Structure 1
Amino acid sequence: MPCLSASARRRHTKMRSLIFLGFLAAAIQVNAQQGFLSIDCGMEGDSSYNDTATGIVYVPDAKYIDSGSNHKISKTYMDATTPAQAETLRSFPDGDRNCYTIDGINQGEKYLIRALFFHGNYDGVTPVAFDLHLGVNTWQRVNITEPTVSPRVEILTVAQQDYFSVCLVNIGSGTPFISALEVRRIDVADVYKDDVNQSDSLVLVGRLNMGAAAAAKKIIRYPDDAYDRKWESFSSPPQWSEINSSQPIQRSPGDAFQVPAAVMATAVTPKDNTSLQFYLPSEAGAIRPVYYIYMHFADFDPLSQTETRRFDVYVNGQLKGSSVKPEYLLSTHLNITSELGTAIRYDFSLNSTSGSTLPPILNAVEVHTTLTLPDTATDKDDVDAMMKLKDMYKMTTWQGDPCSPEKYRWSEVSCTISASEPPRISSLNLSSHRLSGSIPTVLGKLTAIKSLDLSYNEFTGSIPNFLASMLSLSMLNLSHNQLSGSISAALHDRKQNGSLDLETDGNPRLCPYGATCNFVEEKKSKKFATPVIVVIVIIGAVLVVLLIVLSVYLAKRRQQSTRRSQAPKSPLKLDELKAMEDKPVGVDSHQFTYEELKNITNNFVRVLGKGGFGTVYYGRLPADGTEVAVKISSRYAAAAEATTWSSTSQTSDSMMDGTKEFLAEACHSILVCDGDF
């Protein structure tokens, strides 16, 4: 057995360690992405791919939506910085509201949801504006002013249900569209714990990485940020100095923001050593948003006993943070909540305190607006039942929540709205929808429904017992279907006592309560007859096709046979022609020799027509001047050309208009007719 040297064994052990660490890193990354869902909207097929910049897996969107159309962006509008997710999009030219439904959500946990919109002039129409809804509440308006503008919108929210519904709403200002949709679970309860809850969400305005303008990496996100937040480099003004640390920045246990170490490793300070100032424009409108501002600090210098770094934070002249002292190589944070009031912008000032020997420092800043969620989603059991019906019957017009908001309520549904309870479905009208099969048992989950109309469909089988147990139900219309069996005692009793208005007419195989009906034999006959009828129809269709083919074939055979029979005979031999010259040709009692015909036609001078059977000449009878037409057959003419005469013509085979026929035939070669020309 071969023996490895000590150095070879060390190399082998090192190689195995590297392989193990590689697998471990891959496993950690996959595990970190377990709370991620990344959807490339408009991507065809069912294959996923790994984003080259982050390694995040992106999947097509067909699993999450059943409306809209896919488009590809022209490369004219893309460059090296364009993300792969911007190469395709899904647009929604039809319907007021179109929604992505994302299942598998942990109700009560925090999530980051982000959407990308890259128009790329796919339809040649800009500007475009539409609303984005999260569930039943408005998230924000998306405005696309130029084809190359690619806004991203982001929200931090708590899941109200075990699914998310992200809807694009048409407001009449162009066709809504979306390029990518990303969902990230924030699995640490402490992160944003004070400001993101069941009633309030945070909509991102900006997330800035300070002091990193000169860095090669302009955007820091996953895997540096475990939640894939995007930290964009901020361009420092000339009055600022950019600084950085080569040592890692630590986080305290229970840190509420989990800012990546790569972000905290850069910062800005004022060159005048006293005041760091910047401002934030405000959104226009009568309703001024409340801003949540999070400032993140870490000191890069171990301070001596004679050095201090302290500063105050002002917003529009109001003190929001007093004597802020950043910790050495440790993330610290300042939360600011501010209402703009009558001001037109936010002015921020970080001013050194009187006893500070070092200037203010700022590593990163986040700005959000708060979003309350006033509208309540429909009762979960009602929604589950309606979603199953939607999938069962391919009801693609059913988008988002069935009841809320009222403006976008499903047309087949009526709802009961209460200030203290979620909306409930009180009426469902599926009449004339061409539905078939058994009446679905999922209808029994609509425990608040009062009216159910399933008439004029093709439902079969017996009336299910659960319908009688739906105590809220006061009107049930099952008329004009193909239901069979007997009406149950429970339904009959409810109809009799007036608690249920039951309609069942138009079901020929349905028996009244208490009646005996047996359709077993008829069912067997029908089951047998259906395939027999299908076979007969197919055989009949095949026979018809064969008859048509045969008729066409025979017609062509007859046509070919006719052409052969009409083909000119071989020319007369010269001796045959001479033998005919003195043989009279007649019509009734009139007899003409060939010489007389030459005299009648003035030696065959005037040609009336020429065809496959021969040439027709104009002539006059010498006795009374009657005008006649003399036809010399092709066979006769061929022989005549070899003797003393010939004739050419390029007219048609028909005689002149108005000619009357009284034709005679001699040896099937010469025809004479008279009439008015």
Structure 2
Amino acid sequence: MVISHSCSPGTKLEWFLPLLILVAATQVHGYSPSGFLSIDCGLTNSSTYNDADTNLTYVSDSGFVESGKSYDILSQYMKEASNEQEKTLRSFPDGQRNCYTLPSRSGKKYLIRTTFSYGNYDGLNSSENGSPFLFGLHIGANFWTMVNLTNWNPTDTIYKEVLTIAPDKFISVCLLNFGSGTPFISTLDMRSMDDAIFPFLNSSVSASFFSRQRFGEVNEYITRYPTDSLDRFWEAAQRYKFPWLNLTTNQKVYSVPGNDNFQVPLAMLQKASTIQSNFSWLNITVRAGANMNGESLQLLPIFHFAELEKTNTTRTFEIYSDDDLVIEAFSLPYLQATSMYRRDKYVNKSRTTFTLRKTNSSGIPPLISAYEVYSLVRIVNLTADSNDVDYMNEIKKYYNLVRNWNGDPCSPIEYSWKGLTCDYADGKQNPRIIRVDLSTSGLIGGLHLSFMKMESLEHFDLRNNQLDGPIANSILQRVKAGQLELRLEGNPICSKVKDRYCGNKNSTPTVLIAVIVPVVFILLLVLVCILWRFCWKGKSGVQEDYSIYEEETPLHIDIRRFTYAQLRLITNNFQSVIGKGGFGTVYHGILENNDEVAVKVLVETSIAESKDFLPEVQTLSKVHHKNLVALVGYCQNKKCLALVYDFMPRGNLQQLLRGGYDSSLNWEERLHIALDAAQGLEYLHESCTPSIVHRDVKTPNILLDKNLVAKISDFGLSRAFNAAHTHISTVAAGTLGYLDPEYHATFQLTVKTDVYSFGVVLLEIVTGQPPVFMDPQTIHLPNWVRQKIAKGSIHDVVDKKLLDQYDASHLQTVIDLAMNCLENASIDRPSMTEVVSVLKVCLPASTERQSATSTPRKKNIMDAEIPRQFQLMISGATTTSYEGSSFQSGYTGGVSEISHISGR
């Protein structure tokens, strides 16, 4: 079935009216319902056309976006395109955020859909070369979802949908560049909806499509417009084999007036699926695909039913999410549309099984007609005042400004328009633009009327342009009243006007005095400070005595507290530097009993921002494991914060792999080190309460004692998070080459972030190569390994220092394990417990190692092709796996049809 797209128009009303005229002119040939906008992104032909399958009218996106470049997919993929929209696209190689602007009615509900058909348009083979290929989407000023095309067939199409309420007279759909592939878009559709539909939507909650399926015997894989008046995409569940039974009726299914909150097509409700009467329940297993961050989802399932069998017994059943009751027992009236959902019951899991289970009083098993599942999108960033946006767009158009002003001018703050400052003081109001800096911007002519209309404007900088027109009296009155600061120096208009906003000569001495006096004072103050420090050092001959800054209240923990004076003593006045990092310098030290220690002293900037230091010390004092560097003590001084660790005499793993210490490591030593490090991370993830995410797993943070026992260091820089929460949102402490690509999309760190980094470490152990290197161009180690193996064999990636002294089968196991850890979607990565189990199998047999039997789930070869987020399975009377069963452990069934489209 065809996938159609539409890209939306701009913010100005004058852009929208020609579009309505244009669409109306095409009604003779095609039909687009009121409130439908369908845009073929990248279409260079300005004429419209009608889609062959839906007869909907498609237009070019040229009037709805100001940036990007139009492309056709490569010619060899043209024949495989199922519609005209898949043949063209718009690519955005420049800028972090590029936006389409859709005209809307404030408070109106809309379905917005985007599709992405890569077709190797740029010749870079970006979807198949193994490198991360992902970018993000914003709905308005809020993050909507991620588009992940990594390891994707270039002929496939991904689609994304969101249900949202327009905050104003336009909605922005923005593509975000994460630095992992160039964002592009093939189509953009906008469909208006009735006010009563999807009642859980509001100004602070939108809903992103997760999956939508219909049951019964269906001829088309995708059902959409005109069957569905809203043009939703319904995938066919295709449950055609035992024990599934499909029901059909020609009689009309009716809906209760005033209770049609989801407007499921009645033609779809004339079909349903049930199971053989000796079964008591049916299961629907849902899981996040590669295009979802499964660990941050809030899923809202909606189930649709119509009883098609007129029997003497009642069909009564309940709905569970795993073992949690979601919908209490209910019965289905004959031929009446029924939709069930709980707006107060969200599923906070990346994978769950919905069970439709008949009650004891029911004589027949449950049935289902269709279901929808949405992921909630929280609307937290308010859009800028629409009048301010209109004024700025008018100014941009009038002066022909070439600026990447895309999306909302004020939100989110990291994407705000350059040259503007917004006021976010009142969270209940839309941000207002209070400062405009267009100095040296090539402005010519007079002051545009929009400048006068911006009531919120407080500062207006137009210096060094070619403005020669008059200044409106309304602006002059605001300047005189002190409500507006105006700067016009360097413009021809100032040759006619003598006032302070033109740098009036009479005010120059005052300005010079106001500027020069403070500067001279500061310079003198700095000079005095330098002379004082020089004289003080000359007299004392020693550094400042930090001993007077000791904190009086100690922590009540079972590790030693060092004073600053003691640190100076054991480090010999901080003479021997053994390492440096972003948080400070590490010194070698010797305690009174001759034990060697490493003293990490935080830099002053870290001290100023070290609110987490004392809680971290308290946490670390309770963390003890043979594969974690032990914390010996701490220093709590207002001028010096420090952590004292056991000293690791063999350095770090990076040094050993690069030949920095002793001789090269043999294969067994490398495996032992990998296992040690994995066990340390497993302890942090599984045995600590709450769990601890390291955040910066890398070879320099894996230290070796004298017996080459590996110990994880720098986990003190981690942040503990409560097990009740599914993720933490914070700044990553990650390092280039090790950081989880999913973090770029979601900015959320989880235990699976450490697993990804450990996958890179495993490849370093095998290859001896750094995580990022030149070959001859910059390349990420996982991609280098994939390319080497694709062109030759696994032996081509092994570190030459091993001299072929390794077990080939174990080598394959370790590389497979590393690649599992490096899956783009965190849900597909193993846990550290599973990693430990696999590594134990690769080492010489022992009592402990022989007990390691579990292995991480190896991704099925078909996973990358599965076009659905949902896989259905039957259970209840037998352990046999049927068509459509989950790929998860215990089920061996497969998906019966592979399609070119995907909602993942």
**TM-score of the alignment, normalized to the shorter chain, above 0.5:** yes
Structure 1 runs (4+) deviating above 3 angstroms are: 26-30, 78-81, 282-288, 336-341, 469-474, 484-488, 501-505
Letter in 2 for 1:132: L
> Which gives a bigger RCO, structure 1 or 2 (Cα 8 Å, sep 6+)?
2
SS at match of 2:267: helix
Aligned to 1:41: 41
**What amino acid maps onto 2:255 in structure 1?**
R
Aligned 1:399-438 pairs, distance under 5 A: 399-420=406-427, 421-438=429-446
Write out per-residue CA displacement over residues 506-535 of structure 1, whole angstroms, 9 at most, x where no aligned residue: xxxxxxxxxxxxxxxxxxxxxxxxxxxxxx
1:279 alignment partner in structure 2: 285
Tell me the distance in 1 between the aligned counterparts of 2:173 and 2:142.
Answer: 10
1:658-669 equivalences under 5 Å are none
Equivalent-residue separation in structure 1 for 2:174 and 2:436 (angstroms): 23
- Structure 2 matches for 1:337-352, cutoff 5 A? 338-341=345-348, 345-352=351-358
| Matching residue within 366, 375, 389 for 1:369 | 375
Which residue does the alignment assign to 1:295? 303
Secondary structure class of the residue paired with 1:253: coil
The CA deviation string for residues 524-555 of structure 1, in whole angstroms up to 9 with x for no partner, is xxxxxxxxxxxxxxxxxxxxxxxxxxxxxxxx
Within 2, Cα distance between the matches of 1:112 and 1:28? 25
Aligned counterpart, 2:749: none
Amino acid at match of 1:441: L
Tell whether 2:93 aligns with 1:93. yes
**2:74 corresponds to which letter in structure 1?**
S
Q: Residue 567 of structure 1 corresponds to which residue in structure 2?
A: none
Partner of 2:118: 119
2:257 paired residue number? 253
Equivalent residue, structure 2, for 1:315? 321
- 1:153, 1:504 → 2: CA distance? 57
Partners of 2:378 and 2:117 in 1: how far apart?
A: 28
Partner amino acid for 2:48? S
Judged with a 3 Å threshold, the aligned counterparts in structure 2 of structure 1 residues 171 and 473 are, in CA distance, closer, same or farther, namely farther
Distance in 2 (alpha carbons) for counterparts of 1:169 and 1:442 = 30
Deviation at 1:239, TM superposition (A): 2.8
CA 1:183–1:429 in 2, change beyond 3 Å: closer, same or farther? same
Partner Cα separation in structure 1 for residue 415 and residue 309 of structure 2: 58
Distance 2:296 2:408 in 1: 29
Give the structure 2 partner of residue 391 of structure 1. 397
Residue 116 of structure 2 contacts residue 185 of structure 2 at CA under 8 Å; is this kept in 1? yes
Partner of 2:462: 454
3-state SS in 2 of match to 1:390: helix
Question: Alignment partner of 1:151: what SS?
Answer: strand
**Match of 1:277, as an amino acid?**
N
Query: Counterparts of 1:175-186 in structure 2 under 5 Å?
Result: 175-186=182-193
Write the distance in 1 (CA, Å) between the matches of 2:309 and 2:347. 35
Max Rg structure: 1
Q: In structure 1, how many angstroms separate the alpha carbons of the residues matched to 2:385 and 2:334?
A: 51
- Whether contact under 8 Å (1:273, 1:360) holds in the other structure is no
Change in 2 beyond 3 A, CA 1:83/1:469: farther
Encode CA deviations 1:279-334: one digit per residue, 9 max, x unaligned.
1114776843211111000011223xx32111111111122222221222221011
User: Quick one: distance in 2 between partners of 1:239 and 1:469?
Assistant: 81
Is the 1:453–1:476 contact (alpha carbons within 8 Å) kept by the matching residues of 2? yes
Cα distance in 2 between the residues matched to 1:258 and 1:405: 34
Letter in 1 for 2:271: T
Give yes or no for contact 2:73–2:87 (8 Å, CA) kept in 1. Answer: yes
Tell me by how many angstroms 1:155 deviates. Answer: 0.4
Evaluate the alpha carbon distance shift between residue 252 and residue 286 of structure 1 in structure 2; reply closer, same or farther with a 3 A threshold: closer
Q: Contact 1:291–1:339 (CA<8 Å) still a contact in 2? A: yes
Shift of 1:386: 0.9
The structural deviation recorded for 1:141 is 0.8
The equivalent residue for 1:164 is 171
1:360 and 2:366 correspond: yes
Does the residue aligned with 1:44 lie in a helix, a strand or coil? Answer: coil
Task: Give the whole-Å Cα distance in 2 for the aligned partners of 1:155 and 1:460.
Answer: 48
Residue 75 and residue 326 in structure 1: after superposition, are their counterparts in 2 closer, same or farther (change >3 A)? farther
Mapped to 2, the partners of 1:141 and 1:268 lie a distance apart of 33
Question: Residues 247-306 of structure 1, C-alpha deviation per residue, up to 9 Å, x if partnerless?
Answer: 232222121011012221211101234211121114776843211111000011223xx3
Structure having the higher strand fraction is 1
Greater CA deviation, 415-424 or 117-126?
A: 415-424
Opposite residue 309 of structure 1, the aligned amino acid is: R
**Which SS does the other structure have where 2:390 is aligned?**
helix
Q: Which residue is 2:836 aligned to?
A: none
**Equivalence for 2:108:** 109
Are residues 1:481 and 2:453 paired?
Answer: no
Gaps of 5+ in 2: 1-26, 128-132, 506-904
C-alpha distance in 1, partners of 2:489/2:411? 30
Structure 1 unaligned residues grouped into runs of 5+: 1-25, 496-500, 506-677
Q: Which residue of 1 aligns with 2:65?
A: 65
Amino acid across the alignment from 1:247: Q
Q: CA deviation at 1:466?
A: 2.5
Once residues 54 and 384 of structure 2 are traced to their aligned partners in structure 1, the CA distance between those partners, rounded to angstroms, is 37
User: Secondary structure, in 3 states, of the residue corresponding to 1:370?
Assistant: strand
TM-score by length of 2: 0.49
Aligned to 2:228: 225
Check the 8 A contact 1:288/1:339 in 2, yes or no. no
Q: CA deviation at 1:240?
A: 1.5
